[in-house]
Amino acid sequence: MPSKTKQKLNVKKLTQLLDVIRDRRSVRSFDPGDRVPRETLEQIADAGRWAPSGANSQPWEICIIEDPQRVQEVASVMASQADRLNEHCKGFPHVHKKHWVHDSVAILAVFVDPRWADTYPVALEEDLDRTEYMENRSNILLVSAGAAIQNLQLATTAVGLTSAWLSGGGEPQTALELQKLLSFPSSHIPYGIVPIGWPRRKAESRWRRPIDEVVHWNGAIEANLRTQEDIDHYLAKERRHSIYKDAEARQQHLDRLPSDGEIDPVDDGNH
């Protein structure tokens, strides 16, 4: 029996939400500018607070860093993290430029307490727990944190600021430095560091896979699933352009790609 309440889709609100979602870009350079009122920063944090989480565990603490001296200290930690990444990991050519974090008007650090994974399903039989549930508890914890971090970014976009999502806080050395600096205990891992700033320019568009490739109506369309070859190609030829370039520049790069076996042209660092 259909309910008596009027069923009406609010397409207008959906369109407005999609605008904010599409406008959110990882922007890795900020214009230095006025400080943002605490009230606004708290509203942004509130968006994180309202994120869904496994078992409603809310396994996060959202640390708002807005004291200018403290912002510089956190930025320095992230700059060192970026330098280490640049030295030890391949394929992230711009990470050493992370010193832009120093231009943040605020930085949100999302600390996650993994002990809250105990509130997710645990099998009474140890063996079954290990094979079936244990790993998924970590997944639930991390995707919950991700939902909160994304909410922070969307709220930041909605108010006309811009942000990036830095995951290096999950690396042990950086975690330790941030815990010490911000007085968090070792149980709390800063998986999400979100520098916030004033946009230097309108954020460019970024490549997304086409909708009819990503969406599978009522079951997988096998031809649209990506293969190991696609992953290998992405790693060898596409990744840095997909992360740091706008969609058009990325496409131009792909159109110019040398035939297999030749070396990928060196990235010029503009983004």
Ligand X SMILES: Cc1cc2nc3c(=O)[nH]c(=O)nc-3n(C[C@H](O)[C@H](O)[C@H](O)COP(=O)(O)O)c2cc1C
Positions touching ligand X (CB under 6 A) are 25-26, 28, 164-168, 206, 243
Query: Which of residues 70 and 239 has its CB atom nearest to ligand X in the complex?
Result: 239
Least distance from ligand X to the Cβ atom of residue 151, Å: 13
Question: Are 29 and 200 contacting, i.e. CB atoms less than 8 angstroms apart?
Answer: yes
- Residue of 199, 202, 192 lying closest to 45 (CA atoms): 192
Query: Which of residues 206 and 233 has its CB atom nearest to ligand X in the complex?
Result: 206
Least distance from ligand X to the Cβ atom of residue 195, Å: 10
Q: Which residue has the tokens 């994974």?
A: 117
Least distance from ligand X to the Cβ atom of residue 206, Å: 4
Least distance from ligand X to the Cβ atom of residue 243, Å: 4
What crossing angle do the helices spanning 134-158 and 38-49 adopt, rounded to 10°? 150
- CB atoms under 10 Å from CB of 103, counted, come to 17
CB-neighbour burial class of residue 176 (10 A; exposed 0-12, middle 13-18, buried 19+): middle
Query: Which of residues 131 and 138 has its CB atom nearest to ligand X in the complex?
Result: 138
Query: Which of residues 54 and 168 has its CB atom nearest to ligand X in the complex?
Result: 168
Least distance from ligand X to the Cβ atom of residue 38, Å: 26
Q: Mention every residue, 6+ apart, whose C-beta is less than 8 A from residue 117.
A: 59, 137, 138, 140, 141
Query: Which of residues 154 and 243 has its CB atom nearest to ligand X in the complex?
Result: 243
DSSP 40-65: HHHHHHHHHHTS--GGG---EEEEEE
Query: Which of residues 188 and 241 has its CB atom nearest to ligand X in the complex?
Result: 241
Separation between Cα atoms, residue 107 and residue 194, nearest integer Å = 6
Least distance from ligand X to the Cβ atom of residue 271, Å: 10
